[in-house]
């Protein structure tokens, strides 16, 4: 699909590849923006948060796709990707294996990585490994310490079955649940809602994720801490922080600038978890860092 704007032509292609889980194979969807990277610029992989999908990066990708191709997957259980037959299989090792398959499909030795929340955790995990393909890492509003209270808040709403009569009703819901994203324009909320739906057999709409992804989140009985992973990262790293985030505290964000890769930190005011990467200032910070 090719979309045209006043300034440039945006090329968007949806693809699928097969991932493997202990019970068989599953299809993983991803959207590709752009064609070829500029000299010295690797492709960019963008990975979304727990309940979201790859279309969250449309605004960012539209801006960056003239520098490098961007690959924005729907992690299994989200968006247009398949659900898993066993909810206990929604784990970071499964997601990392699927994303490694995507990197192999791209066919490149280096990538840049932009990860929001869960996508940032996955980026840290892969960037910490020997011979990692990640050249530069952008972590959007998550860190190596997550308080149990924040995990509980997420678990409380993720696993609830939801039905909506129409898109307007769904949009009103996501405006409430995702208010901390800092989105201000009606047209952006409408676009986010459009890519946040799955249709049910009864004709009603639900959110575009399997409620089973909550199973492992709800089992968390303590704070999540993985400084041992973060401290092994050596690539240049940018941390984006929402001032009012309950996932990434100021204390943890500050520590990330002095440990491991000694990340560059940019905090955006009046935003919680997580900055939507729609605002021009947020996109500009990422563009400058990757360049």
Longest C-alpha distance within the chain, in Å? 53
Whether 139 is covered by a domain: the verdict is: yes
H-assigned helices in the chain = 58-64, 92-106, 118-127, 148-158, 167-177, 186-194, 214-218, 227-230, 250-256, 280-290
Question: In whole angstroms, what is the distance from residue 90 CA to residue 106 CA?
Answer: 24
Residue 144 pLDDT > 90:
yes
Which pLDDT band holds residue 5 (cuts at 50, 70, 90)? very low
- Domain encompassing residue 115: 2-143+230-290
Global confidence as pTM: 0.94
Residue 190 and residue 183 in contact, taking contact as beta carbons nearer than 8 Å: no
Total tally of structural domains belonging to the chain: 1
Q: Model confidence over 252-279: pLDDT tens digits?
A: 999 999 999 999 999 999 999 999 999 9
Q: How many residues does the chain have?
A: 291
Specify the residue for token string 């299994």.
76
Copy the structure tokens of residue 78: 């989200």
Q: Model confidence over 177-236: pLDDT tens digits?
A: 999 999 999 999 999 999 999 999 999 999 999 999 988 887 777 899 999 999 999 999
Sequence-distant (≥ 6) Cβ neighbours of residue 285 within 8 angstroms: 238, 240, 266
Which pLDDT band holds residue 9 (cuts at 50, 70, 90)? low
Question: In whole angstroms, what is the distance from residue 145 CA to residue 111 CA?
Answer: 25
Whether 187 is covered by a domain: the verdict is: no
Q: What is the structure's pLDDT at 77?
A: 97
Whether 154 is covered by a domain: the verdict is: no
Whether 165 is covered by a domain: the verdict is: no
Whether 177 is covered by a domain: the verdict is: no
Q: What is the structure's pLDDT at 40?
A: 77
Q: Model confidence over 233-249: pLDDT tens digits?
A: 999 999 999 999 999 99
Copy the structure tokens of residue 22: 């202990």
Q: What is the structure's pLDDT at 10?
A: 60
Give Cα separations from 11 to 2, 20, 248 (angstroms): 5, 29, 34
Whether 186 is covered by a domain: the verdict is: no
CATH no. for residue 252? 3.40.50.1820
Whether 21 is covered by a domain: the verdict is: yes
Whether 29 is covered by a domain: the verdict is: yes
Percentage of the residues of the chain whose pLDDT score is greater than 70: 96
């Amino acid at each position: 699909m090719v979309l045209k704007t006043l300034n440039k032509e945006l090329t968007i292609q949806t693809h699928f590849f097969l991932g493997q889980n202990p019970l068989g194979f599953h299809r993983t969807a991803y959207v590709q923006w752009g064609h070829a990277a500029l000299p010295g610029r690797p492709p960019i992989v963008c990975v979304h948060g727990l309940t979201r999908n790859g279309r969250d990066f449309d605004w960012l990708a539209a801006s960056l796709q003239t520098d490098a191709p961007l690959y924005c997957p729907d992690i299994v259980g989200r968006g247009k990707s398949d659900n898993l037959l066993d909810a206990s299989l929604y784990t970071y090792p499964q997601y990392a294996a699927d994303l490694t398959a995507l990197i192999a499909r791209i066919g490149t030795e280096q990538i840049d990585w932009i990860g929001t929340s869960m996508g940032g955790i996955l980026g840290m995990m892969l960037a910490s490994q020997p011979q990692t393909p990640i050249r530069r890492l952008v972590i959007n509003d998550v860190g190596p310490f997550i308080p149990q209270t924040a995990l509980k808040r997420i678990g409380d709403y993720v696993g609830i079955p939801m039905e909506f009569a129409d898109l307007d009703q769904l949009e009103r819901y996501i405006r409430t649940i995702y208010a901390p994203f800092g989105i201000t324009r009606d047209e952006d909320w409408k676009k986010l809602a459009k890519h946040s739906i799955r249709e049910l057999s009864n004709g009603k709409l639900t959110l575009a994720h399997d409620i089973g992804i909550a199973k492992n989140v709800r089992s968390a009985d303590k704070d999540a801490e993985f400084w041992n992973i973060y401290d092994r990262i050596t690539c240049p790293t940018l941390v984006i922080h929402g001032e009012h985030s309950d996932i990434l505290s100021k204390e943890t964000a500050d520590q990330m600038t002095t440990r491991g890769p000694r990340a560059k930190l940019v905090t955006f005011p009046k935003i919680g978890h997580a900055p939507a990467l729609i605002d021009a200032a947020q996109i500009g910070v990422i563009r400058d860092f990757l360049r």
